[in-house]
C-alpha cells in the first residue's frame, strides 16, 4: 500500500473500452487516483500541462501520433508506464531508457505489479527520455543506456561497460574505472538489448564487451580482460567464442 499521498494518474489510451477498464481497476486500488483520461496526443499534452500528474499510463499508437510524441513534450518530473502492442523497435527504445511498460492485452495482475513498482520509482530523468526518443526515432542502437537499480537510475555510455554478470534475476554491470551498478534486469534482457553491439555472451552468467578483452586461453576456457579480470567461457559457448577469435 502506498503510505504517502495518492499518485495522481492520467491515462492516454484510444481504445475506449480499455481506458474505462483501467479507470475502473484503478478506482479499486489504494494509493492511486485518476485525474484525467484522453485518447489523442493533442488532448494528452493539454491535459498533462494543466493537471501535472505524477504518473502517465501511456499508449504508443494513437490516432494523431504516438506516445513518444507526448513523451517529447512533457516535463521530466513524472513517472511513465507505457501500454503497447507495438513493434519490437518501439519496445527496444522503451527498454533502452529503462522505462516501465506493459504489453496488451493487459493483465490485471501485471498492471497491479507495475503500479506497485512505480510507487517507489523515481520520476523519469531527462536523459532517459532523450535515450528513448533517440532510439525510437533513429531505429538504431543508442550510445548510452539507462541502468535501473532498486534505488536509482544511472545513465552510462555503452562503451564504458566492461562486462555484465547475472545472478538470480539481477545483473551487476561493471564499468570502466571500477564502478558497478546492480540492476533489476536479468542478463538475458541485456543480451537482447545489446545485440548487434560489441558484446559477447561467453557463459550463462557473463556478457562481455569485446573492447575490454585482452587475452583468450581456449584450453583453460578463460578470457582475460584488460584490468586482469578473469571471465569463464562455458563448454556450451566455447565453439562460438573460438570462432570469434579465429575470424578476428
With cut-offs at 50, 70 and 90, classify the pLDDT of residue 2: very low
Domain count of the fold of the chain:
2
Q: Is 175 inside a domain boundary?
A: yes
Reply yes or no on whether the pLDDT at 90 is more than 90. Answer: no
- pLDDT band for position 3 (50/70/90)? low
Q: Are residues 30 and 95 in the same domain?
A: yes
Percent of the chain past pLDDT 90, that is, above it, reads: 71
Domain containing 39: what range? 7-138
Q: List pLDDT tens digits, range 53-69.
A: 999 999 998 999 999 99
Is 149 part of any domain?
no
Task: Indicate the residue among 87, 110, 138 that finishes a domain.
Answer: 138
User: What would the grid cell of residue 143 be?
Assistant: 550510445
More reliable by pLDDT, 175 or 243: 175
CATH number at residue 15: 3.40.50.2300
Q: How much is the average pLDDT of 187-201?
A: 90
Q: Are residues 182 and 127 in the same domain?
A: no
| Residue 148 within any structural domain of the chain | no
29 shares a domain with 126: yes
Task: Report the relative pairing of strands 65-66 and 32-38 from DSSP bridges.
Answer: unpaired
Residue 147 lies in a domain: no
Amino acid at each position: 500500500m502506498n503510505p504517502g499521498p495518492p499518485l495522481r494518474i492520467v491515462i492516454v489510451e484510444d481504445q475506449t473500452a480499455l481506458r474505462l477498464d483501467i479507470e475502473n481497476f484503478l478506482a479499486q486500488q489504494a494509493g492511486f487516483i485518476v485525474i484525467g483520461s484522453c485518447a489523442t496526443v493533442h488532448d494528452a499534452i493539454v491535459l498533462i500541462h494543466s493537471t501535472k500528474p505524477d504518473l502517465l499510463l501511456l499508449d504508443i499508437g494513437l490516432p494523431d501520433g504516438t506516445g513518444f510524441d507526448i513523451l517529447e513534450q512533457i516535463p521530466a518530473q513524472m513517472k511513465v508506464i507505457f501500454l503497447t502492442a507495438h513493434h519490437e523497435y518501439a519496445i527496444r527504445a522503451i527498454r533502452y531508457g529503462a522505462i516501465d511498460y506493459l504489453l496488451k492485452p493487459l493483465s490485471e495482475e501485471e498492471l497491479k505489479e507495475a503500479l506497485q513498482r512505480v510507487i517507489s520509482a523515481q520520476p523519469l530523468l531527462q536523459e532517459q527520455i532523450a535515450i528513448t526518443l533517440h532510439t525510437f526515432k533513429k531505429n538504431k542502437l543508442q550510445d548510452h543506456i539507462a541502468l535501473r537499480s532498486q534505488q536509482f537510475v544511472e545513465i552510462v555510455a555503452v562503451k564504458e561497460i566492461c562486462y555484465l554478470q547475472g545472478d538470480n534475476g539481477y545483473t551487476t554491470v561493471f564499468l570502466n574505472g571500477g564502478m558497478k551498478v546492480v540492476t533489476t534486469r536479468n542478463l538475458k534482457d541485456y543480451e537482447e538489448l545489446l545485440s548487434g553491439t560489441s558484446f559477447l555472451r561467453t557463459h550463462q552468467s557473463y556478457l562481455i564487451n569485446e573492447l575490454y578483452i585482452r587475452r583468450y586461453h581456449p584450453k583453460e576456457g578463460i578470457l582475460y580482460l584488460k584490468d586482469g579480470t578473469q571471465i569463464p567461457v562455458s563448454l556450451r559457448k566455447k565453439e562460438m567464442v573460438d570462432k570469434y577469435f579465429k575470424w578476428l
